[in-house]
Amino acid sequence: MRLRFIVAPLLKWFAENARDLPWRRTRDPYAIWVSEIMLQQTQVKTVIPYWERWMNRLPDVAALANAREDTVIKLWEGLGYYSRARNMQKAARLIRDEHGGRFPRDLAGVLALPGVGRYTGGAICSIAYNQPEPIVDGNVIRVLTRVAGIEESPKAKPVLEQIWAIADDLVKQTVARQQSCQRNASAFNQAMMELGALVCTPRNPRCDVCPLKGRCVARKENKTDRIPALAKRAAATKRRYVGFAILWRGKVFVQRRPDGVVNAGYWEFPNWEVAADAEPAALAKGNLSLGQVELEPLCVVNHSITRYRNRLEMFVIRAARKPRLAKLGGEWLPLAKLDEIPLTAAHRKVAGRLLDAEKC
């Protein structure tokens, strides 16, 4: 299936409507790579300050490759999907050690970097180098399935491959039309993503202002609420956690999550997943070996990760003598230093409440 008629109107629309985003002011593949990894499952307005902080502190491949791991994951704190930051550092080290510090220029070289898949590889090669490599993400899928009237689920492999083939044909077309000084492959791929983000939105697409409205099957047949046909989300699962901020002489006990687990490298307060009817006092007694202690309720943090709805109930324990927590493998940290270590989003909220309560 060919949709070549969308190329010219989309390029024109993008030239007139593209948002001025900081990573659009550069062709540096490193800067574009950072933006693309940060933008996965995260909104543009959230990413902008993260990207700016990151580029200030780690402006190039060498800076990222040589940075301390704690610096890297601290810069990522709050963005979620933390393995991405670790993969980026692995990739930067690979570029330093095997590519002489220069970002690879060909798709195969880019795809060989840890954490870079087909979408990100295409995005870097097209946006940074103007190579006619296709990209397909949620925005592109929405635009192309609606314009073409593809009613089958894009989750099905043959349908997804069909969408990649359409995107490939389109981006190659842009280069055929390119005049000197133009960067059509870069502009076209960004235009599809931009249209999906600003106009062809999942709910209530703004078809009246869309440059493709005259040729769009979903609009003509009134099927924008059915296309793309996405499977219903898995039912949410509730999980309950209980945790403790154990204080002793102005310090708090924190643990670093080990390698190989989710959120590896981030710090947190001791906490456990528990049954709905578990008693926090019994948990403290059994897991902390502190004997009889008083639990002061601190806060409840509700947070969602994929289909999980997590509830974290936090309590403060004030210890008169230094508790023996060696078996938990953590550290005593002055309260004021909580701001300096990388914490996961839920535990960053807990830290904020704790510092407020202790007036630090």
Amino acid identity for residue 74 in this structure = K
- Sequence length of the chain is 360
Q: Which residue has the tokens 């002011």?
A: 25
**Helical spans, DSSP H, in the chain:** 7-17, 29-39, 44-57, 61-66, 69-76, 83-98, 107-111, 118-129, 138-148, 157-176, 184-198, 217-220, 280-288, 345-357
Minimum Å gap between C-beta 195 and ligand SF4 is 7
Q: Binding residue for ligand SF4 (CB under 6 A) from 118, 213, 240, 285? A: 213
- CB of 142 or CB of 348, closer to ligand SF4: 142
Q: Which residues, including other chains, have CB under 8 Å from residue 45's CB and lie 6 or more apart? A: none
8 Å CB contact between 283 and 272:
yes
Instruction: Assess 191 for contact with ligand SF4 (CB under 6 A).
Output: no
Q: Which C-beta is closer to ligand SF4: that of 145 or that of 271?
A: 145
CA atoms within 13 A on the CB side of 212: 29
Nearest to 112 by CA among 100, 101, 126, 99: 99
Instruction: Determine if 96 is a binding residue for ligand SF4 (CB under 6 A).
Output: no
Q: Is 331 a catalytic residue?
A: no
Helix (H, G, I), strand (E, B) or coil at 344: coil
Provide the terminal-to-terminal Cα distance of the chain, rounded to the nearest Å.
Answer: 63
Rounded to a whole number of angstroms, the minimum distance from the CB of residue 151 to ligand SF4 is: 13
Examine residue 205 and tell whether it contacts ligand SF4 (CB under 6 A). Answer: yes
Sole binder of ligand SF4 in the list 61, 116, 124, 210 (CB under 6 A): 210
150 near ligand SF4, rule: CB under 6 A? no
**Separation CA 266–CA 82 (nearest Å):** 9
Residue 219 found at the interface with ligand SF4 (CB under 6 A):
yes
Site for ligand SF4, residues 222 to 241, rule: CB under 6 A: 224
The pairing of beta strand 237-248 with beta strand 308-318: parallel
Binding-site member from 31, 216, 301, 314 for ligand SF4 (CB under 6 A): 216
Task: Output 206 or 249, the one with its CB closest to ligand SF4.
Answer: 206
Task: Give min distance, CB of 11 to ligand SF4, in A.
Answer: 15
Smallest distance from the beta carbon of 43 to ligand SF4, in angstroms?
A: 19
Size of the site for ligand SF4 (CB under 6 A): 14
What is the spatial distance between Cα 336 and Cα 318, in angstroms, rounded to a whole number? 17
Asked whether position 144 contacts ligand SF4 by CB under 6 A, the answer is no
Task: Considering the complex, state which of residue 3 and residue 252 has its C-beta at the smaller distance from ligand SF4.
Answer: 3
Instruction: State the catalytic residues.
Output: 36
**Residue ranges that bind ligand SF4, judged by CB under 6 A:** 143, 146-147, 199-200, 205, 207, 210, 212-213, 216, 218-219, 224
